[in-house]
Chain A
Amino acid sequence: GNSVTQMEGPVTLSEEAFLTINCTYTATGYPSLFWYVQYPGEGLQLLLKATKADDKGSNKGFEATYRKETTSFHLEKGSVQVSDSAVYFCALSQNTDKLIFGTGTRLQVFP
């Protein structure tokens, strides 16, 4: 069945460091891929998405590229801020409203 695998956290970085959070998926066909972010005490918010191979989603300085050949959708940011501290979830859907989530990666950014 479909599944999403993310790197385990927590990821601890200093402010202005480069961020990569790995995400790989297993699915048939061409799913849509998402990154959601959960700030402390809040619900999930869509951060970015990509719907077809080689698409790049971007938002708030974060980027992720849909790589069909490696079944990956890694999240990157060139310079993180303390305010980026949150839990990040990779997810996929096969053109339905059902989302399949990874286990989440906690990011902690220190000044």
Chain B
Amino acid sequence: NAGVTQTPKFQVLKTGQSMTLQCAQDMNHEYMSWYRQDPGMGLRLIHYSVGAGITDQGEVPNGYNVSRSTTEDFPLRLLSAAPSQTSVYFCASSSILGTSYEQFFGPGTRLTVL
């Protein structure tokens, strides 16, 4: 199993450009999430999905879109990049273990918006 994979690892954009961060998992997990990590703020939830065709907003959804057409893939789209979106982005997928949810994280994408 590759687990959770993310591409690209690094990306530099100019303000106003759009791009898609890719995320895939091969563990047949129903739940997938996108977080951003900023210094001093921990990880904050952007969007999440409880299954194919179902997505919902997290804590900081503005400026991002997601879709979930398959169980495996959960891409994150930046519609018009802004410097405030400079961050490290992590994708995660979840399985249910007993009464708790264990999340598996990808290696991250470091995005810089100039």
Chain A residues within CB distance 8 Å of chain B: 4, 32, 34, 36, 41-46, 49, 51, 89, 93, 95-99, 101-104
**Given the contacts A42-B107, A43-B106, A97-B50, A103 and B40 also touching, CB distance less than 8 Å:** yes
Q: Show 10 A/B contacts (Cβ-Cβ < 8 Å), sorted by A.
A: A32-B101, A36-B105, A43-B4, A51-B100, A97-B33, A97-B48, A99-B33, A99-B43, A99-B103, A101-B35
Contacts of B107 in A (CB 8 A): 41-43
> Does B94 sit at the interface, judged by CB under 8 A?
yes
Once the chains bind, are A99 and B45 in contact (CB under 8 Å)? Answer: yes
B101 contacts which of A36, A43, A93, A101 (Cβ < 8 Å)? A93
B interface: dominant SS? strand
Chain B residues within CB distance 8 Å of chain A: 4, 31, 33, 35, 40-45, 48, 50, 58, 90, 92, 94, 98-108
Contacts of A46 in B (CB 8 A): 102-104
Known: A97-B31, A99-B103. 9 other contacts (CB 8 A): A4-B42, A34-B100, A44-B105, A46-B104, A49-B102, A89-B43, A93-B100, A95-B101, A99-B101
Q: Which residue of A lies closest to B102 (CB)?
A: A46
**Given the contacts A89-B42, A103-B41, A97 and B99 also touching, CB distance less than 8 Å:** no
